[in-house]
Structure 1
Amino acid sequence: MTWVIILLLIIVALAVAAVVMYNGLVKQRNTVQEAWHQIDVELTRRHDLIPNLVETVKGYAQHEAKTLDDVIRARGAAVNTHGSPDHAADAAAAEGELTQALGRLISVSEAYPDLKANQNYQQLMGELSATEDRIASARRYYNACVRDLNSKVDSIPTKFMAGPAGVTKAEYYEADEATKGAPQVNMTNAEAPSVQFDAPQSQQRPYNEQPQLPPSQMPYPTQGGQSNTFQAPGQQGYGVEYPEQRK
């Protein structure tokens, strides 16, 4: 009778462990998907800014048609690739091409002082710079979540529950190394914002050495003394809370 009780206890313990591992894998997969949504929100914001930027530049730099067309084309490719963490690598590659095209556009803009002095151009540059910073923060958090998920899928005993749970390894969203050398631009106006496409130092470190924050705690540049953060899923205004930039 004692052996029967012991056997039943072992079976119950194994069943509980299996449920815990199953739920842990599913929870981590959902965390990865939520982290991807934060990237997706910021990429959409970036894509929405570009048409206005192109139109503004076009008004002052009509002879730069090829550079403008390259940006439009790269934006179209980027829009078509993002949307799912299953294609994170493709999205990162397309966004890298877009970053390089934007870098060339900004370099060209340096030759047009009237353009750099344009208030609309300065505002767009400020919004684009803030968006780039938020993308970098969201990317670091997403990659940390992916690393945790992939570790669970590869580790024993959780790897044996990955199949039944329908959980597979996720793709990292890794910035193209070529984009780290993109030009940084400072406006001649001391009050105008600067735009930098170089990766922050923390972004260039290995994933396990990068500071990781959940979306609800990730800060991004402030304006007018306001502090703004990502909003976690389920909060009011799901997505990102943007500062009031227009007066």
Structure 2
Amino acid sequence: MSARFLAVPALAIALSGCGINSVPTSEETAKARWADVQNEYQRRADLIPNLVATVKGYAKQESDVLIGVTQARAGATRVQLSGDDLTDPAKVRQFEQAQNAVTLSLQRLQEAYPDLKSNANFLSLQSQLEGTENRITIARRDYNAAVQSYNTRIRTFPDAVGARIFYGAKPLVPFTATTAGAETAPTVNFGNAS
């Protein structure tokens, strides 16, 4: 009878040491950071129609650049990536490419309409978009840190035991720069370069 009572605590200690709680906690943390990334991308998508309307009102004409921004936004909102898709590198890459298309179209918009820099509405929206891009960068960095922690946890002893046996854990995919030349900051020219 006493051996049974000793076996239960020993089993509990063994299970706690093999990631039975820490693996799902780390996975949920990574998924929460992913939700933060999605939130910031949604904020950007919500700001773009206001930016386009401001540019249209100021420029009083349709432009290929405006169409490009609108199409990039539409494409980015169509590509969805759930927390369960974070182990699929192809899906993560597709999502990254759609979001990078939005960033590039916004840069082209700024270059195409240098006179907008004096419009107060445009300046406000531009500032909000810049802040959103910064938030996206921070959210992506936080997500990558959570992914690194989770991926390390499921690959190191003793948590690797529980990760494989109980959860069938697979590594999550971190964000990477997918745009050619992403390591070089883009040049934005408002027509006032000397």
Distance 2:61 2:96 in 1: 30
The residue identity in structure 2 corresponding to 1:29 is E
CA-CA distance at 1:42 after TM superposition = 0.9
The residue identity in structure 1 corresponding to 2:178 is D
Distance 2:190 2:113 in 1: 11
Preserved contact between residue 89 and residue 172 of structure 1 (Cα < 8 Å) = no
One of 182, 185, 203 as aligned partner of 2:186: 182
One of 105, 109, 119 as aligned partner of 1:105: 109
Preserved contact between residue 34 and residue 143 of structure 2 (Cα < 8 Å) = yes
The residue identity in structure 1 corresponding to 2:49 is P
Q: 1:184 to 1:8 in 2, by over 3 A?
A: farther
CA-CA distance at 1:183 after TM superposition = 3.0
1:138-149 maps to which residues of 2 (within 5 A)?
138-149=139-150
Preserved contact between residue 22 and residue 161 of structure 1 (Cα < 8 Å) = yes
SS class of match (2:58): coil
CA-CA distance at 1:107 after TM superposition = 0.8
Q: 1:35 to 1:68 in 2, by over 3 A?
A: same
CA-CA distance at 1:130 after TM superposition = 0.8
Higher RCO (CA-CA < 8 Å; seq separation 6+): 2
Preserved contact between residue 111 and residue 190 of structure 2 (Cα < 8 Å) = no
Q: Which structure 2 residue ranges, 5 or more long, are not aligned?
A: 86-90
The residue identity in structure 1 corresponding to 2:72 is A
The residue identity in structure 2 corresponding to 1:146 is V
Distance 1:165 1:59 in 2: 54
**Deviations, residues 214-247 of structure 1 (Å, cap 9, x unaligned):** xxxxxxxxxxxxxxxxxxxxxxxxxxxxxxxxxx
SS class of match (1:173): coil
SS class of match (2:21): helix
Residue equivalent to 1:96: 100
Q: How many residues end up aligned between the 2 structures?
A: 181
Residue equivalent to 1:49: 47
The residue identity in structure 2 corresponding to 1:34 is A
Q: 1:31 to 1:186 in 2, by over 3 A?
A: farther
CA-CA distance at 1:157 after TM superposition = 3.2
1:119-134 maps to which residues of 2 (within 5 A)?
119-134=120-135
Q: 1:84 to 1:70 in 2, by over 3 A?
A: same
**Deviations, residues 72-130 of structure 1 (Å, cap 9, x unaligned):** 111111112245232443322211111111111111112xx2x2211111110011111
TM-score (structure 1 length as normaliser): 0.64
SS class of match (1:60): helix
1:212-227 maps to which residues of 2 (within 5 A)?
none
The residue identity in structure 1 corresponding to 2:14 is A
SS class of match (1:22): coil
Which is strand-richer, 1 or 2?
1
Supply the RMSD in Å over aligned alpha carbons.
2.7
Q: 1:11 to 1:184 in 2, by over 3 A?
A: farther
Q: 1:47 to 1:175 in 2, by over 3 A?
A: farther
The residue identity in structure 1 corresponding to 2:21 is N
Q: 1:187 to 1:156 in 2, by over 3 A?
A: farther
Residue equivalent to 1:158: 159
CA-CA distance at 1:174 after TM superposition = 2.5
Preserved contact between residue 47 and residue 125 of structure 2 (Cα < 8 Å) = yes
- Are positions 1:39 and 2:41 aligned together? no
Identity %, equivalent residues? 33
CA-CA distance at 1:32 after TM superposition = 0.7
Which is helix-richer, 1 or 2?
2
